[in-house]
Amino acid sequence: MRGRFIVIGLTGSIAMGKSTAGHLLKMLGVPVFDADAAVHHLMKPGGEICKLIEERFPGVTNRQGVDRQKLGNIVFSDPNALKDLEYIIHPRTRSLREMFLLKAAFQRRPIVALDIPLLFESNSEQMCDVSLVVSAPKFLQKQRAMARPGMNEKRFKGILERQMPDAEKRRRADHVVYSGLGKRETLRGLVKVLKVLKRSRRRHV
C-alpha cells in the first residue's frame, strides 16, 4: 500500500471499455488519474509540449493545439518517432501524476486509480498496489474501435501490435472486469473489486 491509500492500476487494450470503467470509478468516489486526458491537456494551445512537438514533428499543430490524428499517423508507423514523442510526453505526465497522488494523500483518500493504457507494457504496474484489467470479446473490441473517428484497419492493427494481448493482461491482472454486457455489469464488477480492496485496506491500516 502506498502510504494511506491503495493505488489501482487501471488498464485494458484499445476499445475494451477502460475509459468507461474510469468514469464509473469516479461515480463511485474513486479519484482517477487519466494519463490520456493529461496528455490531451498538455497538447492544447499554449500547452507545455506543443512547441516541442511542433519542432520534432513539423505541421502537426494548429490553432487548436496538436492534431492528434496527424501525429498518430506519423508515430504509429515509425517506432523511432514514437520513442521521440514518448521522450517529450512521459516526464511531464509523470509530474502531473505525482501531483495527483500528493493531492490524494492530503485528502486522505482510501483508494485511487491510475488509468494507464500501457500499464504492463511500460512496467507501470510496479508503482501500483493492484492491477485491474477491463476486457471484452474481440469482435466487440474491433466494432468499438472501428467506430472511432480516424480509425482504419491499418491503424487498428498497428495499435494492437503495440499492446500486450488481452489474454496475457488478464493473466497478469489482480482483478478483471468485463465490459461486454454493458455499463450495469461493468459497474457491478467494479463495486465487487472495491469491496475487496476496502476490506484489505482495513486489515492493513
Task: Kindly state whether residues 195 and 118 are assigned to the same domain.
Answer: yes
78 domain-assigned: yes
> Mind listing the pLDDT tens digit for each residue in 9-61?
999 999 999 999 999 999 999 999 998 888 888 898 877 788 899 999 999 99
134 domain-assigned: yes
Task: Kindly state whether residues 165 and 204 are assigned to the same domain.
Answer: yes
186 domain-assigned: yes
Q: Last residue of a domain, which of 55, 73, 94? A: 94
177 domain-assigned: yes
Task: Kindly state whether residues 60 and 112 are assigned to the same domain.
Answer: no
Task: Kindly state whether residues 167 and 122 are assigned to the same domain.
Answer: yes
Angle at which helix 79-106 crosses helix 68-75, to 10 degrees, equals 120
Is the pLDDT score of 3 beyond 70?
Answer: no
Model confidence band, residue 71 (pLDDT cutoffs 50, 70, 90): very high
> Mind listing the pLDDT tens digit for each residue in 130-188?
999 999 999 999 999 999 988 999 889 988 988 999 999 999 999 999 999 999 999 99
Model confidence band, residue 69 (pLDDT cutoffs 50, 70, 90): confident
The identity of residue 9, as a single letter, is: G
Give the model's pLDDT for residue 205.
55
42 domain-assigned: yes
100 domain-assigned: no
Contact 131, 73 (CB under 8 A): no
101 domain-assigned: no
Task: Kindly state whether residues 85 and 167 are assigned to the same domain.
Answer: no
Give the model's pLDDT for residue 32.
98
99 domain-assigned: no
Q: Last residue of a domain, which of 69, 94, 119? A: 94
- DSSP state for residue 152 in the 8-state scheme: -
Q: Where is pLDDT greater, at 130 or 4?
A: 130
Residue 80 domain boundaries: 38-94
Task: Kindly state whether residues 43 and 86 are assigned to the same domain.
Answer: yes
Separation CA 72–CA 92 (nearest Å) = 19
Sequence-ordered strand ranges (E) for the chain = 6-11, 32-34, 61-62, 65-66, 111-115, 130-135, 175-178
Task: Kindly state whether residues 45 and 26 are assigned to the same domain.
Answer: no
- Domain count of the chain? 2
Give the model's pLDDT for residue 82.
87
Give the model's pLDDT for residue 190.
98
- Give the full edge-to-edge strand order of the sheet including 111-115: 32-34, 111-115, 6-11, 130-135, 175-178
CATH of the domain at 21: 3.40.50.300
Give the model's pLDDT for residue 203.
65
Model confidence band, residue 193 (pLDDT cutoffs 50, 70, 90): very high
Q: Report the share of the chain in percent with pLDDT over 90.
A: 69
Give the model's pLDDT for residue 76.
79
Mean pLDDT of 55-79: 89
Task: Kindly state whether residues 27 and 57 are assigned to the same domain.
Answer: no
Is the pLDDT score of 80 beyond 50?
Answer: yes
Other beta carbons within 10 angstroms of residue 89's beta carbon come to 18
